[in-house]
């Protein structure tokens, strides 16, 4: 478990051993939780999904060098007692550089980063409730992927303390090759513009929009009936808008609200055009004993403009409307110091769809510990 991620961590630590002594200031934590999940593969009720016990391990590592360089690692592994098809591993390793430069008019902050992410999870079909099959052949690795992002951003403050930021991302995402099925690999370029207004000492308002062009390596455009058009290459254009605000009634509490909408247009007749809207609310409360409560609620609505029937071998091919609720309590084990923290959480999600195979609910109960090693 976490073998590849631990190997990456050892490489990062070795590199830091070769750097000057100040670079030894590390931020490293491990957490382990166990619990019960009622629907590990998010299957429709007609499949009679079985609840199962699980363990969830996380590793987090971050370090900022004095030079402005930084490195990071995130890794997690979820293992189920019986439902092994629901096991998953995910890790992310990153590195980059951030600094500031000054012009005659203002000071600008910039950041460059390279982020590598991998995911490994068995593909379970929503229509059968079993490992997905294509023409009698099992395809458990259909949605495993490796993803590389190059991120760049620049930000500055105006005379009235409003922050402006421009972000660019180039992504290359490579899925596990499945002969006989369309290639899911793609590249995209994304640019985002956002601003932050300081409404008061306790209140901030952020807003922005983004544009993305996604080009698939070897995937066909669909006609109005959902059939591939030979000799074509599928592309998506995304347009995103969002606004969010947070308010601090006092030093102990924080309330946040976020609204977003995303339109996706394909380069064909619009068979895969979608609209995706979300509403998110968050609440955090720190108590005098060092513990804190975190609560969040998220509603989402994904609509296909012209698609009538979902493709059983396309994880993204269904409309859905639903919500997700999370409640978490974190309490230091030894006084107020958060070197060792007890974790308790409950999560519930409930989604509806025009396709009964994509209607499900899921409840997760868990408890564990997080250890801050450095």
Tell me, letter by letter, the H, E, C secondary structure of 104-135.
CCCEEEEEEEEEEEEEEECCECCCCCCECEEC
pLDDT digits (tens, 9 = 90+) for 231-245: 999 999 999 999 999
pLDDT higher at 149 or 126: 149
Q: In the prediction, which pLDDT does 225 show?
A: 86
- Scanning 292-331, the segments in alpha helix (DSSP H) are none
| CATH architecture, domain 90-372 | Beta Barrel (2.40)
Q: In the prediction, which pLDDT does 1 show?
A: 45
> Helices (H), strands (E): how many in the chain?
1, 20
Q: Give the whole-number percent of the chain exceeding pLDDT 90.
A: 72
Is 80's pLDDT higher than 50? yes
How high does pLDDT run on average in the chain?
Answer: 90
What are φ and ψ of residue 215, in 5° steps?
-120, 125
Burial class (CB in 10 A: 0-12, 13-18, 19+), 5: buried
Q: In the prediction, which pLDDT does 9 show?
A: 54
pLDDT digits (tens, 9 = 90+) for 17-58: 545 544 455 789 999 999 999 999 999 999 999 999 999 999
The tokens of 188 are what?
Answer: 């995209």
pLDDT digits (tens, 9 = 90+) for 48-70: 999 999 999 999 999 999 889 99
Backbone φ/ψ region at 352: left (φ over 0), alpha (ψ -120 to 50), beta: beta
Q: Give the C-alpha separation, 148 to 92, whole Å.
A: 10
The neighbouring-strand residues paired with 61 are 28, 73
User: In which band, very low, low, confident or very high, does the pLDDT at 335 lie, cut at 50, 70 and 90?
Assistant: confident
User: In which band, very low, low, confident or very high, does the pLDDT at 8 lie, cut at 50, 70 and 90?
Assistant: low
Q: In the prediction, which pLDDT does 374 show?
A: 78
């Amino acid at each position: 478990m976490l073998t590849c991620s631990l190997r990456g961590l050892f490489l990062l630590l070795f590199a830091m051993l070769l750097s000057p002594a100040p670079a030894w200031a590390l931020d490293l934590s491990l957490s382990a939780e166990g619990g019960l999940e009622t629907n590990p593969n998010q299957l429709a009720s007609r499949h009679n999904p079985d609840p199962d016990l699980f363990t969830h391990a996380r590793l987090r590592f971050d370090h900022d060098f004095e030079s402005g360089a930084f490195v990071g690692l995130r890794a997690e592994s979820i293992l189920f007692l019986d439902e092994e098809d629901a096991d998953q591993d995910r890790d992310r390793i990153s590195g980059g550089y951030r600094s500031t430069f000054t012009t005659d008019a203002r000071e600008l902050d910039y950041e460059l980063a390279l982020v590598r992410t991998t995911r490994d999870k068995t593909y379970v079909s929503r229509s059968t409730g079993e490992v997905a099959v294509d023409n009698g052949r099992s395809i458990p690795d259909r949605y495993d992927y490796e993803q590389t992002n190059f991120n760049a951003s620049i930000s500055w403050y105006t005379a009235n303390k409003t922050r402006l930021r421009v972000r660019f991302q180039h992504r290359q995402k490579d899925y596990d090759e499945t002969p006989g099925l369309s290639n899911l690999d793609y590249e995209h370029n994304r640019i985002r513009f956002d601003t932050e207004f300081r409404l008061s000492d306790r209140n901030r308002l952020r807003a922005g929009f983004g544009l993305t062009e996604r080009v698939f390596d070897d995937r066909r455009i669909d006609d109005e009936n959902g059939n591939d058009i030979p000799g074509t290459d599928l592309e998506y254009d995304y347009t995103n808008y969002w606004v969010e605000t947070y308010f601090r009634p006092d030093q102990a509490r924080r309330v946040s609200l976020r609204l977003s909408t995303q339109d996706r247009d394909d380069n064909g007749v619009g068979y895969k055009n979608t609209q995706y809207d979300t509403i998110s609310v968050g609440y955090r409360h720190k108590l005098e004993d060092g513990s804190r409560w975190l609560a969040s609620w998220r509603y989402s609505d994904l609509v296909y403009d012209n698609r009538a029937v979902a493709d059983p071998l396309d994880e993204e091919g269904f409309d859905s409307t639903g919500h997700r609720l999370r409640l978490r309590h974190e309490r230091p084990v030894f006084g107020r110091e958060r070197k060792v923290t007890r974790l308790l959480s409950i999560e519930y999600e409930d989604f509806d769809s025009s396709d009964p195979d994509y209607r499900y609910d899921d409840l997760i109960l868990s408890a564990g510990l997080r250890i801050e090693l450095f």
